[in-house]
Chains A and B, each alone.
Chain A
């Protein structure tokens, strides 16, 4: 799991008596997270269920999840990294000035209370959402929170887990790690995988206009990405695989309708804690599955000459064949 201090949702359900949700709104975005895993379930170790658990919500505004929380900490927008850093200092009883605390929009009492509760917990778990990982600081925020979780283990058991949205996006990470060694932002243009987010990540590639064709599957960048990225998708040949005609399909050269995963197409999907789940499709779709279409495209490409000049193959590929 990439060195992060984490666990499965089953462990959270059985053992976690202290839960922090940071920058997420599970009440509306993951409606069954509370009832199925984190708050309502009773277990051998938490026989009274909700009464045995404490839930802290950290967010920039009051969402519907506040009602489910015991403590709500409203952090000033863009100050998550500062707050996590202050917590890391307070946990280790290092000096923090009043100005530094004031900057986050919270009081020293509230933070001292949080730290003592974290240390008193038997099993703490921090779930972080896009409010943390997609705002100012981005992956540095996630990294700071994961470090805080790791450092808390000097006092008690503590873990952290991202709140993944979008169905099987966790599976994409897992499959790419398995196949290439890297989770996303990969280039094969030297014949072997290289990882460099910022250079090979999609928005950057599209905004700079680096790619000259795009194959979009199970996503709708035409509806979600910034305009310069969409403009580049319009300029280049774009191929879309989707169960619906999406915004991206309308600007694409080729659209192929496929069966919806889990409803009409079988397969596997990963839960946010990286547990694979078999799918049980109910319907028989008139459309082929994504898997079948991509495999057939692969077969069609394999019949064409390799992409090196005159179709010559790199040595390591020839040896394997």
Chain B
């Protein structure tokens, strides 16, 4: 069995120089071996990075969205989120650590259009 073969003998796909976003090092030399459902191996990654890559799968583990604890569609949840944020006088947009710069830019636009607050983990 070659090192890139999985237990079911279907060869794994390999991604070279993948980027790990677990810690601030953002290592960009990771080799990922995956079968589109889960990542089986993260070569060069450290203990923390391996755990980060191997613990995420493409399975549908959670409902797409929850409104008041009940399952809902993404469309309904987006409408409800927009309604709640628009109704608020002083909404807070917070976090933005475990997300991409593209999403962060949208968050800045969100806080701007709401006339609200914008803050990240840095302020802790």
Contact = CB atoms under 8 A, between A and B. Distances in A.
A68 interface: no
Closest 7 CB pairs of A and B: A267-B100, A219-B95, A213-B88, A164-B24, A300-B82, A218-B98, A31-B46
B56 A279 contact: no
Interface string A198-210: 0011110110001
10 contacts: A166-B24, A166-B97, A167-B23, A186-B118, A211-B90, A218-B96, A218-B97, A242-B98, A256-B81, A283-B38
A284 B58 contact: yes
A165 interface: yes
Given A184-B123, A203-B124, A212-B90, A189 B24 contact: no
For chain B, the bracket of interface size reads 35 or more
A214 B25 contact: no
Interface of B: 13, 15, 17-28, 32, 34, 36-39, 46-49, 52-53, 56-60, 62-68, 74, 77-82, 84-124
A264 B118 contact: no
Given A172-B97, A217-B103, 17 more contacts: A32-B25, A172-B104, A180-B112, A184-B118, A188-B117, A201-B123, A206-B92, A218-B99, A219-B96, A219-B97, A254-B65, A254-B66, A263-B53, A269-B19, A280-B15, A283-B57, A295-B106
A171 interface: yes
A174 interface: yes
Interface residues of A, number: 106
A256 B86 contact: no
A105 to B, nearest CB: 27
A253 interface: yes
B34 A282 contact: yes
A162 to B, nearest CB: 8
B21 A279 contact: yes
A245 B60 CA distance: 12
Given A269-B19, A297-B110, A185 B123 contact: yes
Interface of A: 29-33, 36-37, 134, 163-176, 179-180, 183-189, 191, 193, 197, 200-203, 205-206, 210-219, 221, 236-237, 239, 241-245, 249, 252-257, 260-272, 275-280, 282-291, 293-298, 300-302, 304, 307
B103 A33 contact: no
Contact of A31 (B48, B68, B80): B48
B94 A202 contact: yes
A248 B79 CA distance: 20
Tell me which of A134, A174, A245, A291 has the highest count of chain B C-beta atoms within 10 A of its own C-beta: A291
B115 A188 contact: yes
A210 B88 CA distance: 11
A293 B21 contact: no
A302 B32 CA distance: 40
Contact of A201 (B57, B93, B119): B119
Contacts of A174: 101
Contacts of A261: 21, 98-100, 103
B50 to A, nearest CB: 10
A231 B95 CA distance: 18
Nearest to B91: A213
A294 B106 contact: yes
